Amino acid sequence: MSRTRTAMLAALALVAGASGTALAADPGGIGTAAVPCTVDYKVQNQWDTGFTAAVTVTNQGAAKSNWSVKWSYAGNQKVTSGWNAKIGQSGADVTAANETYNATLATGGSVSFGFQGTYSGSNAIPATFTLDGVTCNVDDGGGGPTDPPDPDPTGPKVDNPYSGAKVYVNPEWSAKAAAEPGGSRIASQPTGVWLDRIAAINGVNGGMGLRDHLDEALTQKGSGELVVQLVIYNLPGRDCAALASNGELGPTELGRYKTEYIDPIAAILADPKYAALRIVTTIEIDSLPNLVTNTGSRPTATPQCDVMKANGNYQKGVGYALNKLGDVANVYNYIDAGHHGWIGWDDNFAPSATVMKEAATSEGATMNDVHGFIANTANYSALKENNFTINDSVGGKSVRESKWVDWNRYTDELSFAQAFRQQLVTTGFNSGIGMLIDTSRNGWGGSARPAGPGATTDVDTYVNGGRYDRRIHVGNWCNQSGAGLGERPQAAPAAGIDAYVWIKPPGESDGASSEIPNDEGKGFDRMCDPTYTGNPRNGNNMSGALPNAPLSGHWFSAQFQQLMQNAYPPLS
């Protein structure tokens, strides 16, 4: 089933730099005078009862610290939603005012915004526009009522964005991988670009920002199709159950999340320059499952997660991101769905899908803004356990009774992802949604990989002897000792699975082994300390973390070498 949006939305983003000065005839007939502003109004898509439009305003007057554009419709057009401006309407009169992030409008500078509206009969271009009360001249850009609607540069969304497409190789990660001994074997693999704080949008410490990555993606694209994978990861009170991945925004800073983080990202992605890219967003890993498993009276609850459940800012933030990013015609949103060793239990499975529906229908988002879900993001759960199944029994005991499985209904990520997809559809998501599985670190190869089932002495010996996943406990997540690269990224590898992906770039740390002061908002989580003896979330077991790890997201050479050594399928 196709997951095409009912109405494809095309928006324009903030346009940097100067625009050519427009001239108009001097009514006195004695020369020419500069027009104070120009407006380019384009109807980008039009159907029987609705349309989308893009407006670009160029200021030739004095620089402005805020701005307001006004126009009136001759017909019955009504603006229903907008982006990159605060748009209101009273009768036929429309006002579009700046957002906080695009308030400055330099002399010769331009700003763009877009909106969706309804109409019946004709859909004429407004005759007059004003910028802060001053009348501008108008360029209808060929989008007048007698012209056909401008073509959608991307066409309708495809069912699986990965099919028939290359995937973006991050040159910064690739260079680090290639600099490692043996790293050239995987340096050309595509990985996710993590936007884990506001500063990452423009680039941190001289590194590449979002526009830099998208520009490079256009170069890599050539004449074919190309997917760019972005991780949207900066919720208020982020990751309430893991200090290592805490973020910069406090639990109540939803406004900053919207205006300083999501809105600027949406504006960049909506730039027509990038319309030919397939942009896959992984939305806020680990957030929504925390509201199910780490709140209330559960032994795994944390006060921080209780706060986020009470204020609803996880659902609101995810909903806002889905809404704004989903308005961009070539963006494919995938919500993070945890992993089998987190929400595979009966108490967590359906409730997690319900929480995800709450998020997908908040802050203006709809089910059509969700293209799919992703499992095992930045985690280690084995893709497929071949040496035992959930239906096996040993000595009269089910595999579910083993200490490792612990009554879970799933033993690996593939079976979980396929089943959870069906649960999501049952909960109300579109039947055409697809799943992604992060296989960047779940190969579990090397000398410790079992060649066959464990002995049938008892159910624990059977499971522990045969399982590929060699973690001490399925709840362990930080820089796991013994892990290896998993399946290489590939499209449509199994039923219901859009792709295996490497969203977590191999070699980037999950968190520091000891406390490291930093300005990145990242705390010290004892689960990253190899001497830690655990908590209820990992059955009070040792953490299994590698020693001497740096802050999350920083390069960890020892981990990178281990992942290559234990890769499965093995590296050649």
Catalytic residues: 239
Phi, psi of 52 (to 5 degrees): -120, 145
Tokens of 11: 């928006």
Please, what's the largest Cα pairwise distance for the chain? 102
What angle (nearest 5°) sits at the alpha carbon of residue 28, between those of residues 26 and 32? 25
Exposure letters 70-89 (e unless 16+ CB within 10 A, then b): bbbbeeebebeebbbbebeb
499 strand-pairing partners: 436, 491
Question: How far is it, in rounded angstroms, from Cα 169 to Cα 183?
Answer: 14
For the chain, first and last CA: distance in Å? 38
Query: Which alpha helices (H) appear in 24-182, and where do they start and end?
Result: 171-179
Contacts of 5 (CB under 8 A, 6+ apart): 156, 157, 326, 329, 368
Question: How far is it, in rounded angstroms, from Cα 432 to Cα 157?
Answer: 12
The CA–CA distances, whole Å, from 199 to 248, 264, 473, 513 equal 10, 11, 35, 25
Helix (H) or strand (E) holding 23: strand 23-25
Question: How far is it, in rounded angstroms, from Cα 7 to Cα 328?
Answer: 11
Q: Which 3 state secondary structure label does DSSP give 289? A: helix
Tokens of 253: 């800073």
Contact 220, 534 (CB under 8 A): no
Question: How far is it, in rounded angstroms, from Cα 301 to Cα 475?
Answer: 14
Place of tokens 């990985």: 191
Tokens of 437: 């599985």
Tokens of 472: 């001490």
Tokens of 145: 């009522």
